[in-house]
Amino acid sequence: MNPDTLAQRVGDEVVLINLKTDRIFVLNRTGARLWELLAARHTRAEIRERLLDEFDVAGGQVDAEIESLLAALSHERLIEAEREP
């Protein structure tokens, strides 16, 4: 996690704020769950397995979603590249 990132759960979503850029990023229910698992320092493989267990989604789709979200979080500087699982 980037120490300049503030995260707050709001209902099923998680709102992320980059305190250096003041940019806001909203995660839907599945993205919020990924964020929580990431914050708990689960590995990418553990995150994948948890999401497959908790959501009705195919393996290939969850892989693509994880990659996409991690890339977006990194691009927005909400996570640090060396901390990615």
Tens digits of residue pLDDT in 15-43:
999 999 999 999 999 999 999 999 999 99
> What is the pLDDT, as a whole number, of residue 1?
83
pTM metric for this prediction: 0.87
Structurally, how many domains does the chain consist of? 1
Instruction: Print the domain residue range for 43.
Output: 5-83
DSSP letter for 84, please. Answer: -
Of the chain, the end-to-end C-alpha distance in Å amounts to 10
Residue pair 74/81 in contact by the 8 Å Cβ criterion: yes
> What is the pLDDT, as a whole number, of residue 84?
42
Q: For 42-75, what is each residue's pLDDT tens digit?
A: 999 999 999 999 999 999 999 999 999 999 999 9
The alpha-helical segments, DSSP class H, found in 5-84 are: 29-39, 44-54, 59-75
